[in-house]
Amino acid sequence: MKKVTVSAPGKLMLLGEHAVVYNRPCLVTAVDQRMYLTAELLEAEEFQLNAPDVQVENYKKKIKDIGKGEIPKGAKFIEIAIRNFSEKYPIRGGLRITTKSEFSSSFGFGSSSASTVCIIKALSELFDLGLSKKEIFDIAYKTVLDVQRKGSGFDIAAAVYGGTLYFLTGGKAIEPLSIKSLPLIVGYSGIKADTVTLIDKVKKEFSNKPEELDSIYNSITVFVEKAKDSIRDKNWKSLGDLMNNNQSLLKKLGVSIEKLDNMIQSSISAGGYGAKLSGAGGGDCMIAICSDEKKEKVEKAIEEVGGEILKVQANAEGVRVEK
């Protein structure tokens, strides 16, 4: 029976997290560690899933029950994505799906989004639909909202389009920045963060200070707009300054933690142009921007305060068919 393997990249938020949930822009880059998904058509009308990276093994149910009943955590995004796809395009027969990730789901690289994008792309291939990037984005983003109720969709856009993007909430703007590379250093804090918990934390803490929150988000927007130009001009010094400014506001939002602060401070003291947390905060990764000459020194400084350097390249290719 027909079979296809596709892959999609992980992502890192460059600037604009949290603000982007509330109708503001952000900058995101795709990283060269990928999620792989193989999908095979079956004659029997059965759905089978193996996703060992998220502890799902030999999970099976009838295709007609897809998206219904108790769904294991690790199967949710894929199952709801198939349901959303099948509401638009009929699925004939059954499906056997296997996923394998090159990165840990603890890094905050967006493993759920990457696998959601992979399954939609794979179904588009299996049923010869030739869905456009925007069509894949729309079904995948609906899936994220169905599963976790919140989110801007920036991670979905990175998995679909790849590269480095200027992105506006819900995909109202998805603008690729044509650059060749980005001198990024990535440090993992070793602490797993939960995106929805952090979005809720910010909302709660500012519930009686809406003007203050609005003003923080407006300032972040200014930094994002300027950083877009800095990236285009390869002005890494200016990008570093803007990342530092963004980090101060993330601290005001209350989403940074001591471990990340230490990693960020050390990278700047070691000669980095600038650094900030990347994503929801509360853990996951920090990013620093620095010159080639300072790279080793900055990496060492991050390790000295307990961070783990993740060797990834930014600006990676979006979802693609492997074979």
Q: Select from 17, 102, 125, 138 the one that contacts ligand PMV (CB under 6 A).
A: 17
Residue 41 CB, nearest approach to ligand PMV (Å): 32
Q: Which is nearer to ligand PMV, 24 or 294 (CB)?
A: 24
Does position 274 interact with ligand PMV (CB under 6 A)? The reply is no
Does position 195 interact with ligand PMV (CB under 6 A)? The reply is yes
Range 199-218, binding ligand PMV (CB under 6 A): 199
Does position 299 interact with ligand PMV (CB under 6 A)? The reply is no
Q: From the centroid of its chain, how far is CA 208?
A: 30
Q: Which is nearer to ligand PMV, 199 or 314 (CB)?
A: 199
Range 104-123, binding ligand PMV (CB under 6 A): 108, 110
Pick the piece of the chain touching ligand PMV (CB under 6 A) from 115-123, 129-137, 209-217, 278-286: 278-286
Does position 31 interact with ligand PMV (CB under 6 A)? The reply is no
Length of the chain: 323
Residue 25 CB, nearest approach to ligand PMV (Å): 11
Does position 312 interact with ligand PMV (CB under 6 A)? The reply is no
| Euclidean distance between the first and the last CA atom of the chain, given in angstroms as a whole number | 14
- Quick one: which H or E segment has residue 8? strand 3-15
What is the arrangement of strands in the sheet containing 274-278, beginning at the earlier edge strand? Answer: 274-278, 285-289, 184-188, 308-310
**Between helices 111-126 and 154-161, what is the axis angle to 10°?**
50
Q: Is 155 assigned a catalytic role?
A: yes
Does position 227 interact with ligand PMV (CB under 6 A)? The reply is no
Does position 155 interact with ligand PMV (CB under 6 A)? The reply is yes
CA distances from 160 to 26, 117, 152, 238 (A): 16, 6, 14, 28
Radius of gyration of the chain (CA): 20
Pick the piece of the chain touching ligand PMV (CB under 6 A) from 13-21, 33-41, 129-137, 224-232: 13-21
Does position 279 interact with ligand PMV (CB under 6 A)? The reply is yes
DSSP state letters, 121-169: HHHHHHTT----HHHHHHHHHHHHHHHHS---SHHHHHHHHBSEEEEEG
Q: CB under 8 Å to 205, separation ≥6 — which residues?
A: 253, 254
Does position 276 interact with ligand PMV (CB under 6 A)? The reply is no
Range 134-153, binding ligand PMV (CB under 6 A): 151-152
- What angle is formed at CA 144 by the lines to CA 139 and CA 150, rounded to 5 degrees? 130
Does position 280 interact with ligand PMV (CB under 6 A)? The reply is yes
Q: Which is nearer to ligand PMV, 189 or 195 (CB)?
A: 195
How many CB atoms sit inside 10 A of residue 137's CB?
23
Q: In whole angstroms, give the CA distance from residue 227 to residue 276.
A: 13
Of 128, 146, 155, 229, which residue is the catalytic one? 155
List residues binding ligand PMV (CB under 6 A).
13, 17-18, 20-21, 108, 110, 151-152, 154-155, 195, 199, 279-280, 284
Q: Which residues are catalytic?
A: 155
